[in-house]
Each structure stands twice: as structure tokens, then as C-alpha cells.
Structure 1
Amino acid sequence: MTATASLALRTKLTPTAPVLRAATAALWRPEGLRRRYVRYLAAMHPLVRASVPLLERAAERCAGLDDPAARRLGAYCVRHAEEERDHDAWLLDDLAAAGAGPLAVPPPVVVELVGAQYYRVEHEHPVTLLGYIAVLEGNAPGPRLADRLIEATGLPGSAFRTLREHAELDGGHLDDLHRVLDDLALTPEGQTAVSVSALHTAHLLTRLFHSLAAEPGGHP
């Protein structure tokens, strides 16, 4: 029996899981956590701010392509853009509650994460965006992380809305993405493009987490 596209993608990403887990563990270690959490929020804001424009651009590209997969993908991008809308505002609210504000200049690795997707959407195929989304939503915060960080940092609960919301939402979003990926009936070349995008994203996300975890004062 031929493996589904979503199973093939999960299999490709399996070697990245322990590396990302280690980076995440370093990020959330107790020492200096309050300051590091604020830096995390500030770094995630420009990343999340790019989500809706990326999805909308991917939908536009799909509309200009003459293949059934692109039409189905475009509908997903439009739907998911609405699901992600205003999440960057949540991060601004979290930052304000933590006594901080957004960065004037996005961290370079965040620009790399987002910029790679713009390149792939424009010059490869918008389906590559599914690899990016799969990694981000497949590494969402756990359901108890916000409570643990509130206790460890002493910050108010209002500084953790984004973590709480994404812990609840991203599992369902990932299931939806896997269904869409399987329904697209991609060619082997299309599946490879999604996998390459996902692996690149996992590498850059690991870099981001390691840089945020760096002491003293590592910069993404």
C-alpha cells in the first residue's frame, strides 16, 4: 500500500523531532526564563504577522495556476488565512502585558523563515507552504506550558494568550492540513517540494529557538 502524502511528510520530519525538542527544552529552562519569554514573544510577532499575507499570496498564485490541486490548495489557503487573522495582535497584547513591545527590526532568522516561503510560493509552487505550516503547527506549545511559564516567570496570565490559544487550535489545524495534503494527490515532485520546505523550516526554527535560548542575551 502506498503511503499517504501526510504520512510521508511526517516520516521525513521524524529525524528533526529530537533536535527541535532539545532546542525547545533549552528555550524553556528555568534560568532567566522571564526575560527569555519576552524575547520569544518579540521574535514570534514578526513571524506570525507574516502568516496571513503569505497565505493570501499563496491563494493568489493558486488562482493563476491551471491544475486541480492548485484550486483545492487555494481554498485551503483562504480558509486558513481567516483562521490565523489577528493572531499577531494577540502577541502585541502579550508583549504589552509583559511590559514590552515589538522589535523595530525582525530577527534575521525570522526573515529567513518567512522569506524562504515567499521565494518558494513565487518561484516553485504554493504547495510548498504546507511544509512550512506543518512544522510550525506541529511544534505548537503544549497545553500545560502557559501555566508552567506563568508560575516560573511571575508574569500575569494576560501575557500568555497566544500560547494558550495555539495550544488549543494548532492540533486541529495540523489535522486539517494533513487531510488537505492527502486530498491534493500530489506528484512525487510535489511531495518532495513540500518535504524540502518542511525540512528547511525545521532547521531554521531550531536555529531560532537555540538563539533565543542562548545566554547571555543571544540574538535570533
Structure 2
Amino acid sequence: MHAVIRASVPLMELAAERCRAPAAGAGGEEPGLRALARFLPEHIGRELHHDDWLLRDMAAAGLDPERERERPPAPSVARMVGAQYYWVRHHHPVSLLGYIAVLELHAPSVELPALLAERTGLPPAAFDTLRLHAEEDGGHSAEVLAAIDAAACSASARRAVRLSVLHTAAALGEVLDEISAPDSPEAPRRESARTRPGPSGPAEDGGVAGP
């Protein structure tokens, strides 16, 4: 997920750049572009450094953040994120709102971080990113939907957003399947997982104990 989230701000910066260059292929829909251009800078400010939060969570979970940063992102991540780069640069920056909607439309419950810490045996600090999103993102759904209503003000723009939503949802499912698959080569490994106790005893072979 770090490989996904570290691309969020660069993607929005690219979309903001494209909003300033409608003649270069953004479609010339000035009202929609102006609405998108107003939304993106504020949203970029809210998303800054979230990838750094995840690196701290990794360290709290017993992972090596540098190893996770250095290894190539999974092809499933490249398919999910890379499609947005293509659509933003070669079609219309409004496409990115579909991607943002899938990733951010529903903030996690404030109870979820503590529940995950209890069930996995990981320290609460390993879920700080999730906790912060639960505490801060309650109003994001309305803001994202309002941005879509304002920016996708033509049939072609709405089609672009819908296509982005459908692709992102399917691609995110593939990413999550890879993360959760037993013995997945993309699954992070915790050096201390073999000995860290969980609710049902110590985990073995890099797994997580508990229900």
C-alpha cells in the first residue's frame, strides 16, 4: 500500500499541471477544469507525507522501511496507478477523480485500528496511518463527490470518471489479493514475526497469530 500511496501527491500534481494546459489534450472543458484546479491544491495539502506515515508504521510492525522503498512495486500496483498517469496526461485530468473516489470515499471506522492491533498482535503504532485517516477524513467523501459534480460537467468527463472508478476498483482488488495471499512474494516480511506473541500465541513463518 505504500507503493500506492506514495504516488498520490505526484498524480494530483500532474493533474493540476494538466488543468493549466487545456490545449495540450485536457479537452477544453473550462468550467470543469477550473473546478478541478480549485480542488486539487487543497487536497494535495491534505495528502502530503502520508507515505512517510506508512514508513513509520512499517518500522513499528518490525519491517525494514528501506527495503520496502527499494524493491520494485508490484505489477498490480503499476497497473492500478499507471493507468491514471496515462489518462491524466493523454486524455483528461478529471479521470483522476474516479481513482480518488475509490481510495478515499469511505473513511475507516475510528474503532478499526484498535481492533486490528488486538487481532493481529501488532503494536497500535503499526496502525497510526489508519487511525489518523479515521480521525481526519470524515468529511472527505462529501468533498470528493462535490468535486466530481463540479468537474465532471460533461458526458465525456463523466464517462472518464466512471471508467477510472471501475478500473481502480478492479485493480485495487488485485493489489489486496496479492497482499493477503499466503506466501505471496509481495507480502512484506517482519524479521521478528516468528517470536512476536499474538492473541493466540507466537506467529510462525512470518505469519500473524490471532483470529
TM-score bin, normalised by smaller chain: 0.7 to 0.9
In the alignment, is the contact (CA less than 8 A) between 2:105 and 2:140 conserved in 1?
Answer: no
Following TM superposition, by how much is the alpha carbon of 1:138 offset from its aligned partner in structure 2, in angstroms? 2.6
Q: Give the gaps of 5 or more residues in structure 1.
A: 1-43
- Cα distance in 1 for residues equivalent to 2:167 and 2:152: 23
CA distance in 2, matches of 1:219, 1:94: 17
Cα deviations by residue, 1:85-137 (Å, 9 ceiling, x for unpaired): 01001000000111112422111111111111000100110000000000011
Name the counterpart of 1:128: 95
1:94 maps to 57
Bigger CA drift: 82-91 or 63-72?
Answer: 63-72
Name the % identity. 48
Q: 1:168 is matched with which residue?
A: 135
Give the aligned partner of residue 40 of structure 1: none
Q: Which residue of 2 aligns with 1:180?
A: 147
Aligned match for 1:80, one of 20, 43, 47: 43
Higher helix content, 1 or 2: 1
Contact 1:138–1:171 at 8 Å: present in 2 too?
no
Alpha-carbon distance between aligned partners in 1 of 2:73 and 2:106, rounded to the nearest angstrom: 21
Query: How many angstroms does 1:74 deviate by?
Result: 1.2
Map 1:112-151 → 2, pairs under 5 A: 112-151=79-118
> Size of the alignment, in residue pairs?
177
> Does 2:37 align with 1:70?
no
Paired position in structure 2 for 1:22: none
Whole-Å Cα distance in 1 between the matches of residues 133 and 139 of structure 2? 10
Q: Is the 8 A contact 1:146 1:164 kept in 2?
A: yes
Q: 1:184 to 1:75 in 2, by over 3 A?
A: same
- The residue that corresponds to 2:3 in the other structure is 46
Question: Partner of 2:195 in structure 1?
Answer: none
Q: Residue 166 of structure 1: CA displacement?
A: 1.6
1:138–1:170 CA contact under 8 A, matched in 2: no
| TM-score using structure 2 length | 0.79
| TM-score (ref. length: structure 1) | 0.76
1:193 maps to 2:160: yes
Label 1:176 to 1:115 Cα distance change in 2 as closer, same or farther (>3 A). same
Q: Which residue of 2 aligns with 1:108?
A: 75
Higher relative contact order (CA 8 A, sep 6+): 1
Distance 1:152 1:146 in 2: 10
